[in-house]
Copies of this chain bind each other. A is one copy, B any other.
Amino acid sequence: MRSRQLIRDMIVHYLGNPILNELDDGACLSFVEKDLVFTTDSFVVRPLFFPGGDIGKLAVCGTVNDLAMMGAKPRYLSLGLILEEGLLLADLERVVRSMRAALKAANVKIVTGDTKVVERGMGFGMFVNTAGIGVRFPNADTRVVNARAGDAVIVTGTLGDHGAAVIACREGINLESRLVSDVAPLWNLVGPLLRKNVDIHCLRDPTRGGLAAALNDIAESSLVGIRLVENKIPVRKEVRGICRVLGLDPLNMACEGRAVVVCPGKNAAAVVKMLRSRPLGRNAEVIGQVVKQPKNMVILETEIGGERIVETPMGEDLPRIC
């Protein structure tokens, strides 16, 4: 119980707000809006701390971004911690402080939580679950079923930074220049598009399985094809380097602060301009288009003029990158 008290105090100390501080069995929330979005994600990343972030920032941004991709303004999060005995309190504090910063950046609150401590020796340190409630924008329908031939495919920034940074950190790969995870809350980037009623067909964050998984999901759900132009796809040279060393494909690498935006081709330039006006979107690019045929497929026009099929990664995921 003493440890529970300590944790409670640490969490209330750093993450407290009038709703959370009630510390009751649940949080009482009032909404004037009728249409909500509800989502959840568990985070098992290893190591707990990596260049550009940690499991706490990831747990806040991951759930905030799932809400944002559904066209919902993130409002409230729950926090479920599973801590391993022996976890350093200093590490827990560092994670909780990082959460606090991410919550502030995303303008959301943790309003209810639960902490379990399990016996030492499993070697995971901590797992984090967040669930989230957001308020859906009127008329926002950004589901993966809405892509149509003629749409443009846009990414809001460089791809694979998160996956590459975590793997490099875990494998002890030294980089000349500093590569950091892209983990960031996306609502401030995509919210303005929805607020201004820009016609957006799909939003998806390319997390597990990277761009390849996200685009195949869109192609299959919308019964369309997608053609990509390789030399338009923004990938940092450090990410390319790590992928080359480890035999990985940058298109399969997870991002935690990037979105795929599908919109009518005629709006693409305006959308890219809006995205680039914010720091998080300054590397936004049109990387391809939605086509009628071949359906359910993603085709990459390579830099050397060939074509290849981009498949959903079928082997095991890169382990524990989120």
Interface residues of A (CB under 8 A from B): 1-4, 22, 24-32, 34-44, 66-67, 69-70, 72, 76, 78-82, 111-114, 116, 118-119, 122-124, 127, 129, 131-134, 136, 143-144, 204-205, 209, 312-317, 319-320
| A28/B24 in contact, CB under 8 A | no
Q: Are the C-beta atoms of B118 and A44 separated by less than 8 Å? A: yes
Of A2, A76, A82, chain B has the most CB atoms within 10 Å of the CB of: A82
Given contacts A29-B37, A31-B36, 13 further A-B contacts (CB under 8 A): A3-B316, A25-B69, A26-B134, A28-B136, A29-B38, A30-B36, A32-B34, A42-B81, A82-B82, A82-B127, A119-B320, A129-B131, A131-B131
A122 touches B122 (CB 8 A): yes
* Contact across chains for B25 and A204 when beta carbons are under 8 A apart: yes
Hey, which chain B residues are within 8 Å of A316, CB to CB? 1, 3
Task: For A42, give its contact among B1, B82, B312 (CB under 8 Å).
Answer: B82
Q: Given A66-B25, A82-B127, are A1 and B38 also a contact pair (CB < 8 Å)?
A: no
Task: State the copy count for this chain.
Answer: 2
Q: Which of B124, B129, B143, B204 contacts A118 (CB 8 A)?
A: B124
From B26, B27, B37, contact of A28 by CB (8 A): B37
Q: How far is the CA of A27 from the CA of B69 in the complex (A)?
A: 11
Query: Are A111 and B28 interface neighbours, CB within 8 A?
Result: no
Q: With A42-B116, A131-B131 given, is the CB distance from A25 to B70 under 8 Å? A: yes
Known: A24-B144, A26-B70, A35-B30. A114 touches B82 (CB 8 A): no
Contacting residues, chain B, for A144 (C-beta < 8 A): 24
In Å, the complex CA distance between A304 and B83 comes to 42
Which residues of B have CB within 8 Å of A112? 38-40
In the bound assembly, the distance between CA atoms of A119 and B320 in angstroms comes to 9
Taking the closest CB of chain B, its distance from the CB of A58, in whole angstroms, is 12
**B70 and A38 within 8 A (CB):** no
- The residues of B that contact A70 with a CB separation of less than 8 Å are 24-26, 28
Complex: A122 Cα to B123 Cα, angstroms:
7
**B residues near A118, Cβ cutoff 8 Å:** 44, 124, 319-320
Is the CB–CB distance between A38 and B80 below 8 Å? Answer: no
A4 CB to closest chain B CB (Å) equals 8
**CB <8 Å contact, B80 and A42:** yes
Q: Are A27 and B22 CB-contacts (below 8 A) given A44-B82, A116-B44?
A: no
**Closest chain B CB from A128 CB (angstroms):** 9
Query: Smallest CB–CB gap between A127 and chain B, Å?
Result: 6
Does B40 lie within 8 Å of A78, measured CB to CB? yes
Identify the closest chain B residue to A41 (Cβ).
B114
Contact B67 A26 (CB under 8 A): yes
Cα distance A187–B204 in the bound complex, in angstroms = 37
Q: For residue A203, which residue of chain B has the nearest CB? A: B25
Is there an interface contact between B119 and A122, defined as CB atoms closer than 8 Å?
no
Taking a contact as CB atoms under 8 Å apart, the answer to whether A38 and B78 are in contact is yes
Q: How far is the CA of A66 from the CA of B80 in the complex (A)?
A: 14
In the complex, A171→B118 CA distance in Å?
17
